[in-house]
Amino acid sequence: MFLESNVKLQPAGWIEVVCGSMFSGKTEELLRRLRRAWYARQHYILFKPEKDKRYALKEVVSHDENAMECITITHSGDLLKYVGGVEVIGIDEAQFFDMGLPDVCQELAVAGKRVVVAGLDMDFLGRPFGPIPDLLAMAEYVTKVHAICPHCGNLASHSYRFAESDETILLGALDAYEPRCRKCFSLGNKLKPFRRKKA
Ligand code: ZN
């Protein structure tokens, strides 16, 4: 568990990244950190990309149905319009943002803000996803959270896709993806052309 150290005492801003596979609890962890900032009477704001319309337009909702109000934006640069007077900035589903996001986060951190970014570190083929790799390199604090592989019980770091689609972005929940460990992910992808469709 990530515990903030000297959250109110540090003079400069910084970047935190919470990443992992689907169903690993990234959004829950992001919301937990923002709630703690709220308890500390800090001004926070939460953003998500316009592409993520799964649950609600103006809320971030985690798989355990925690919800928090947010602002939906299409371009990373739009963040800058909303952050005056804000101390803590949360960004969910950051993998869907454009490649300008790391520079925007850097600008915010230099301006003294705490930036908490959550997102998928890998896509459904196990490839580094969008701006997340750059953010991992630039962040002061990185937390990888894990789901549990339903096939073997090991920690799951990959997002296995059942659906027959080569699109990198295919939004969905339980029916389209499952978390898998590296071994079961790799095995599943090898068998894919021969497997039967999931009922
Ligand atoms: Zn496994």
The domain 14-147 having CATH identifier 3.40.50.300: the answer here is: yes
What's the pLDDT at 192?
76
Distance in Å, CA 67 to ligand 1 centroid: 30
What's the pLDDT at 199?
42
Q: Among the listed ranges 4-8, 43-47, 76-80, which one has the minimum average pLDDT value?
A: 4-8
Q: Where are the beta strands (DSSP E) in the chain?
A: 14-20, 44-49, 59-61, 67-69, 71-73, 88-91, 114-120, 141-145, 147-148, 155-156, 158-161, 177-180
Q: Where are the domains of the chain?
A: 14-147
What's the pLDDT at 2?
79
What's the pLDDT at 157?
98
Distance in Å, CA 71 to ligand 1 centroid: 36
Banded model confidence at residue 1, pLDDT cuts 50, 70, 90? confident
Banded model confidence at residue 9, pLDDT cuts 50, 70, 90? low
Distance in Å, CA 94 to ligand 1 centroid: 26
The answer to whether residue 93 is catalytic is yes
Please identify every residue whose CB atom is under 5 Å from ligand 1, which is an ion: 149, 151-152, 154, 181, 184
Strand 147-148 with 155-156, pairing:
antiparallel
Q: Where are the beta strands (DSSP E) in 75-126?
A: 88-91, 114-120
CA separation for the pair 20, 149 (Å, rounded): 13
Distance in Å, CA 145 to ligand 1 centroid: 16
Distance in Å, CA 2 to ligand 1 centroid: 25
Out of 93, 107, 140, 178, which one is annotated catalytic?
Answer: 93
Banded model confidence at residue 147, pLDDT cuts 50, 70, 90? very high
Dump pLDDT digits (tens) for 23-74.
999 999 999 999 999 999 999 999 999 976 655 567 777 776 678 899 999 9
